[in-house]
Structure 1
Amino acid sequence: MTYTLHRLAAGSYDLVLDGIIVGSVVREVTADGGHRAWHAELLEDLPPDRCPSPFREIEHTFPTLDAATAWLGDAMVVDSLEAA
């Protein structure tokens, strides 16, 4: 299984697994514009035994985008805005 992140806008990515959008990775921003965390979230509410690896819950939180991509098996980031 290979994950890629396709950039939609600053701090927002589609999470693609083997060519299918299965979730999103988004940056949480505070009201004052500060950065808090990154969230990887599946689109579908699945029981833990049906979640694609490495997910064990619908949402996981990370301190950086690099930490999220590493957890997703060194997922490649694709800048979809440049391809448009």
Structure 2
Amino acid sequence: MTYALHRLEPSSYDLVLGGAVVGSVVREIRDGIGDDIWHAELLDDPAPEKRPPSFSRIDHTFGSLQAVVAWLQQIKVTDNIRNFWAQTLGNN
């Protein structure tokens, strides 16, 4: 199965697998106390053998969104913000 990231806000994505939201990817802005951190986290805490591919624990941290995408391997990124405004403005 292929993961999908659905962009909700500039630093927030739903993590979708098999058509279901299984987690989120969010950026933690550190405001001058270090580099920003990206978190890929599951919504639930399943037993290790029931976790989706790549997840050995509930929360993984990364230095960039590109690193998250590389870690998840096969992934499709959808910009829901852009799609929302295109549909909204197109309907007026």
Instruction: Calculate the TM-score normalised by the size of structure 2.
Output: 0.83
Higher strand share: 1
CA contact (8 A) 2:35 2:63 kept: no
Whether 2:23 is the aligned partner of 1:29: answer no
Whether 2:51 is the aligned partner of 1:51: answer yes
CA contact (8 A) 1:8 1:80 kept: yes
Unmatched segments (≥5 aa) in structure 1: none
CA contact (8 A) 2:30 2:37 kept: no
Instruction: Calculate the TM-score normalised by the size of structure 1.
Output: 0.90
The number of residues matched between the two structures is 84
Runs in 1 of length 4+ with deviation above 3 angstroms? 31-35
CA distance in 2, matches of 1:29, 1:74: 26
CA-to-partner distance for each residue in 1:19-75, whole Å, 9 max, x for gaps? 110000000112459742100000011121110111110111111100101111142
CA contact (8 A) 1:49 1:56 kept: no
Higher helix share: 2
Superposition CA RMSD, Å = 1.6
Unmatched segments (≥5 aa) in structure 2: 85-92
